[in-house]
Amino acid sequence: MAENQKVDVRAYYQNLPKKDKGKFLRYLSKKYDYPASTMSGKLRENPNSSLRRDEELNTIQPINEGLWDQ
């Protein structure tokens, strides 16, 4: 689990092409029932919005394992 903490989810999301951002948000929406618009807002560089602990963990795992991009 310690290696999972090395991922900066917001930086990862910001560096994705627009098409892949949508694909990533759809994955989170289907897998974890997170509203895509809410997650999009939380993943953008918005200091007023932060990820809950479960959201952070549930975004780090698919990034590390490449699960969302299949």
The mean pLDDT value for 30-39 works out to: 94
Question: Taking the C-alpha atoms of 42, 46, 47 and 53 in order, what is their torsion angle to the nearest 10 degrees?
Answer: 10
Task: Say whether pLDDT at 60 is over 60.
Answer: yes
* Every domain of the chain and the residues it spans: 2-65
Per cent of the chain over pLDDT 70 is: 91
Write out the two tokens for 21: 């951002």
User: Do residues 13 and 5 make contact, with C-beta atoms less than 8 angstroms apart?
Assistant: no
pLDDT confidence tier of residue 21, bands split at 50, 70 and 90: very high
Write out the two tokens for 34: 């997170």
pLDDT of residue 1: 40
**Model-level pTM?**
0.83
pLDDT of residue 5: 54
Q: If you average pLDDT over every residue of the chain, what do you get?
A: 87
